[in-house]
Amino acid sequence: MRIIRTENYQELSRQAADMIQAAIENKPDCVLGLATGGTPIGTYQQLVERYREGSLDFSSVTTFNLDEYYGVSSDQEQSYHAFMFEHLFRHINVSHERIHIPFGMPEDIEKHCHYYEQIIQDAGGIDLQLLGIGENGHIGFNEPARCLQADTHLVQLSQETIRANSRYFPSIAEVPKQAITMGVRTIFQAKKIVLLASGANKADMIGRMLDGRITTDIPASLLKLHPDLTIIVDREAGSRLDAIA
């Protein structure tokens, strides 16, 4: 495990983009696992800028997103499909056939989850998985629980996550209560994992994640067992790290 402490969000975003760029340069047909939410937006902006400057080529890259709201259509403004195209995909030369995001309105949810797992395997697995961390320690939408599911599945969102995500919706009542998410084993099978945390509201959870315990009450703590984990934090998110060093 490697921890990179940066001064601010801009430096965090640059560091994450550097790692993604290195993965693409080392393997032009690499498979990227991508995240949504506010934290990776700066990283995606960096990648778009580098593509426009001619220093990055996404033409052979394959992507898999972590999750999607259940019951939300791909063209809905709050969908993660819309998020990814707004912040990344429509600005770079990635082939639409190589973009994979769980479909929020499948006719058969179990069949769709199995299909998503299969196409990840068919692509050779994920080379680099980008993650954020929820204030309650979730990764993807794997919420704190007594037991965690291994593979892509339908999950009930916690009230904490619903409240946190309500800023993207007109009201909290309109936030979906369920989502389709990669499971912890799917995430863990990525060859490299890069977890980002920004802001004072993530400081407590980063401290708890790294305090030595591994527990399903903090799903992100399981990542400490991964052989190639990098955690990038800005000054605020990393403010409690000295206390546990």
Given 68, 117, 127, 143, which residue is catalytic?
143
Considering the candidates 81, 138, 153, 226, report the single residue annotated as catalytic.
Answer: 138
CA distance 154 to 158: 13
Active site residue 65: no
In three-state form (DSSP H/G/I as H, E/B as E, the rest C), the secondary structure along 183-196 is: CHHHHHCCCEEEEE
Catalytic residue among 65, 67, 81, 87: 67
| Given 11, 91, 136, 236, the catalytic residue | 136
8 Å CB contact between 193 and 228: yes
Is 143 an active-site residue?
A: yes
Catalytic status, residue 226: no
Q: Please, where are the H alpha helices in 93-202? A: 109-122, 159-165, 184-188
| DSSP class of 233 | E
Q: Determine whether 87 is an active site residue.
A: no
Three-state DSSP class for residue 38: coil
Q: Supply 5's token pair.
A: 């402490």
Residues that are catalytic: 67, 136, 138, 143
